[in-house]
Amino acid sequence: MTSMQNGQSKKKLDIAIVGGGLVGSLEALYLAKRGHHVSIYEYREDIRQTPLVRGRSINLALSVRGRRALKDVGLEQKMIFEHGIPMTGRMIHRLDGSTYSIPYDSRTNQCIYSVGRNYLNGLLLQESESYDNVERYFNHKLSEANLEKGSLTFIKTDTKETVKVTADLVVGADGAFSAVRRAMMKQPLFDFSQKYIEHGYLELCIPAGEDDGFQMPPNYLHIWPRGNFMMIALPNQDCSWTVTLFMPFVNFKKLDTEGKLLDFFETYFPDSIPLIGKKKLIEDFFGGSPSSLVAIKCRPYHVKDKALLIGDAAHAVVPFYGQGMNAGFEDCTLLDQLFQKHHDNLVDILEEFSETRWEDTFAISDLAMYNYIEMRDLVTRPSYRLRKMFDDFLFWLMPNFWVPLYNSVTFTTMPYSQCVKNRKWQNKMLLFCVTSAAVLAITLYFRGLQ
Ligand SMILES: Cc1cc2nc3c(=O)[nH]c(=O)nc-3n(C[C@H](O)[C@H](O)[C@H](O)COP(=O)(O)OP(=O)(O)OC[C@H]3O[C@@H](n4cnc5c(N)ncnc54)[C@H](O)[C@@H]3O)c2cc1C
Dump pLDDT digits (tens) for 309-338: 999 999 999 999 999 999 999 999 999 999
Residue ID of nearest Cα to ligand 1 atom 49: 21
* Residue 56: pLDDT over 70: no
Identify whether the C-beta of residue 104 lies closer than 8 Å to the C-beta of residue 111: yes
* Atom number, ligand 1, closest to the C-alpha of residue 203: 1
CATH architecture of the region 2-85+111-194+295-374: 3-Layer(bba) Sandwich (3.50)
- 44/57 Cα distance (integer angstroms): 16
Pairing of strands 37-41, 134-137: parallel
Pairing of strands 140-146, 241-248: unpaired
Segment 373-393 shows an average pLDDT of 84
Collapsed DSSP state (helix, strand, coil) of residue 104? coil
Instruction: Provide the pLDDT for residue 356.
Output: 98
Dump pLDDT digits (tens) for 103-156: 998 878 899 999 999 999 999 999 999 999 999 999 999 999 999 999 999 999
Q: Which residue of 325, 326, 367, 369 sits with most ligand 1 atoms within 8 Å of its CB, as the best mutation to test the pocket?
A: 325
Q: In what order do the strands lie in the sheet with 89-93?
A: 99-103, 89-93, 220-225, 230-235, 241-248, 191-206, 291-299
- 298/308 Cα distance (integer angstroms): 12
Instruction: Provide the pLDDT for residue 201.
Output: 97
- Whole-Å CA distances, 331 to 30, 118, 140, 217, 341: 11, 20, 24, 34, 15
Neighbours of 418 (CB within 10 A): 14
Which pLDDT band, with edges at 50, 70 and 90, does 52 fall under?
low
What is the helix (H) or strand (E) element at residue 421, kind and residue range? helix 416-449
Segment 381-395 shows an average pLDDT of 88
258's CB contacts (< 8 A; 6+ apart) are 282, 286
Cis bond before residue 51 (omega within 30° of 0): no
Residue ID of nearest Cα to ligand 1 atom 35: 19
Is ligand 1 within 6 A of the CB of residue 20?
yes
Identify whether the C-beta of residue 276 lies closer than 8 Å to the C-beta of residue 204: yes
Segment 22-39 shows an average pLDDT of 98
Is ligand 1 within 6 A of the CB of residue 338?
no
Is ligand 1 within 6 A of the CB of residue 116?
no
Instruction: Provide the pLDDT for residue 4.
Output: 41
Which pLDDT band, with edges at 50, 70 and 90, does 372 fall under?
confident
Distance 130 CA to ligand 1 centre (A): 24
Segment 13-35 shows an average pLDDT of 98
Is ligand 1 within 6 A of the CB of residue 113?
no
User: Helix axis angle, 324-341 relative to 64-72, nearest 10°?
Assistant: 40
Distance 174 CA to ligand 1 centre (A): 8
Instruction: Provide the pLDDT for residue 2.
Output: 41
Residue ID of nearest Cα to ligand 1 atom 21: 325
Mean pLDDT of all residues belonging to the chain: 93
Phi, psi values for residue 350, rounded to 5°: -65, -40
Q: Where are the domains of the chain?
A: 2-85+111-194+295-374, 195-292, 381-449
Instruction: Provide the pLDDT for residue 30.
Output: 98
